[in-house]
Amino acid sequence: MKKLFRFVLSIILVSGTVLTASAQKDLTLEECINIALDNNLDIQMSQNNALIAKSNKFQAMMNYLPNLSAGVNYDLTAGTFFDQFAGRQVSTTTNTSDPFIRSSFNVFNGFANHHNLSQRRNELEAATQGIEASKLDVKNNVFTAYLNVILDKENIRISDDRVELLEAQLDREVKRESVGVGNMESVYNFRSQVANEKLNNVRLKNTLQSDMLRLVQLLRLNVNDDYRLITEEYADADLLVEADPYGDVLAKSMAFSPSLKQANASYKASKYAMKGARAQRYPTVSLFGQIGSRYSSNGARNPTTGEVEENASLTDQLDWNSYEYANLRVDIPIFTRYQTSTNIQVAKLNMHNAELSLQQTEQNVTNTIQTVYLDLISAQATYKAALENLESLEQSFDFINKRYETGNTDFFTYLESLNNKNRAEIELVNAKYSIIFRKKIIGLFEGEG
């Protein structure tokens, strides 16, 4: 029974390991971006806003057309009253109806329809560019989150190598001390450094888990699943390719920027909104027309004979009482309790705010490009220096390590050399991925991503 229990338990453990391994999901940078774009709520809201703007534009186009409506009523009146349909005074319960079809058409309203349509067109353009601006923000955020995770993994790798090296040295010192050629001071020093580096390793792994959680949350994936990021390999020659001149990068970015196009379209829309508000000062001219007829249970006057026929049928009455009505109306605003002036003032301030927003967006795009471009140039310079620095420090550490192993240098000299080498490795890794992602971000702002 014990053997059977152990066999079943081993199968369960192996199955669980296989399931866990198969549950791990590999993610490339491109896959992370596509997932974020599909799941991001801001993008979905921007898409809804674009649909709303499209509906508003369609309505602005339809405002040029006349309206058309039809109606019918049924009235019940009891008592004595003058029945206009029958043309006499009656004292009875009366049923009446007045069916009609009517239409009105706006001939002139100070070009308000024209301004409204232009406003809605620009609002649709702004909403459309808002979708692209949201996508750009999402991609930028994914780049940043992805970079943090990659750097965390590289720092952990360097820390793991450091722990392995220190543990090997500790093991060597323990053996040397056990045979009487070493000393406990070196053993204690290495134990202290191993413990300190393991603590640092734990901190780095905690940072990795935290940054990985932020990335998964940004992608709106299940945080209980296990994910692994797949990175691409980049040659040194690709990393050190000089960037385009700053002026060219800025010009491309300004020409492509969806946020700048959105702000510009919003500004144009606000200008037409102000023109629409000013149109309220103009007179309006409208046409109105209606056709209909009347029916009364008391009968109706026959237009042929001039006599009131109390038993006239519904069909006859609708025929006898039919009418056509047309109206031309001019409304001249004289005093609107300052409502028009207030609307114009508010529209003008909204236009000024939209202009300021456009200027702020231009400044934000410029500042972003300046920062990213400077970071790229600095990272390339750092990478060149870090390559040379690491090469010399590795040679120095190899020399110090051999001297330490032969007893020709002290522990603190050895540790300082190791720390210098590790710092150079970290600087090189940070510079490498800073170049990679800064180039990607610049390409993103130029419309290449």
Q: For residue 410, is pLDDT > 70? A: yes
Range list of β-strands (E), 92-231: 94-97, 100-108, 227-229
CA distance 18 to 278: 72
Instruction: Summarize pLDDT for 49-60 with one digit per residue, the tens.
Output: 999 999 999 999
CB 4 within 8 A of CB 204: no
Instruction: Say what the pLDDT of residue 234 is.
Output: 75
Which residues lie across from 229 on neighbouring strands? 27
Single-letter code of the amino acid located at 214: R
Instruction: Say what the pLDDT of residue 284 is.
Output: 96
Q: For residue 10, is pLDDT > 80? A: no
Segment 310-331 shows an average pLDDT of 92
* Same domain assignment for residues 322 and 338: no
CB 223 within 8 A of CB 161: no
Give me the domain span that covers residue 89.
Answer: 72-108+290-332
Specify the CATH number for the domain of residue 395.
1.20.1600.10
* Same domain assignment for residues 232 and 134: yes
CB 112 within 8 A of CB 274: no
Last residue of a domain, one of 314, 332, 350: 332
* Same domain assignment for residues 89 and 195: no
CA distance 145 to 150: 9
Q: Is residue 378 part of a domain?
A: yes
- Cα angle value 255/260/265 (rounded, 5°): 110
* Same domain assignment for residues 228 and 309: no
* Same domain assignment for residues 300 and 396: no
* Same domain assignment for residues 186 and 297: no
Segment 173-190 shows an average pLDDT of 83
* Same domain assignment for residues 297 and 244: no
- Of the chain, the percentage scoring pLDDT greater than 70 comes to 95
Instruction: Summarize pLDDT for 244-289 with one digit per residue, the tens.
Output: 999 999 999 999 999 999 999 999 999 999 999 999 999 999 999 9
Instruction: Say what the pLDDT of residue 79 is.
Output: 83
* Same domain assignment for residues 46 and 151: yes
Return the residue matching tokens 């603190």: 412
Q: For residue 81, is pLDDT > 80? A: yes
How many domains is the chain built from?
Answer: 2
CA distance 35 to 18: 26
Segment among 77-91, 212-226, 238-252 with least mean pLDDT:
77-91
Instruction: Say what the pLDDT of residue 44 is.
Output: 96
Q: Is residue 164 part of a domain?
A: yes
Segment among 3-12, 343-352, 395-404 with least mean pLDDT:
3-12
Segment 75-90 shows an average pLDDT of 82
* Same domain assignment for residues 94 and 193: no
H or E stretch at 396: helix 339-405
In which band, very low, low, confident or very high, does the pLDDT at 4 lie, cut at 50, 70 and 90? Answer: very low
* Same domain assignment for residues 344 and 361: yes
Instruction: Summarize pLDDT for 292-313 with one digit per residue, the tens.
Output: 999 998 888 888 888 888 888 9
Return the residue matching tokens 């027309």: 289
Of 384, 361, 376, 377, nearest to 441 by C-alpha is 376
Instruction: Say what the pLDDT of residue 19 is.
Output: 42
* Same domain assignment for residues 312 and 415: no
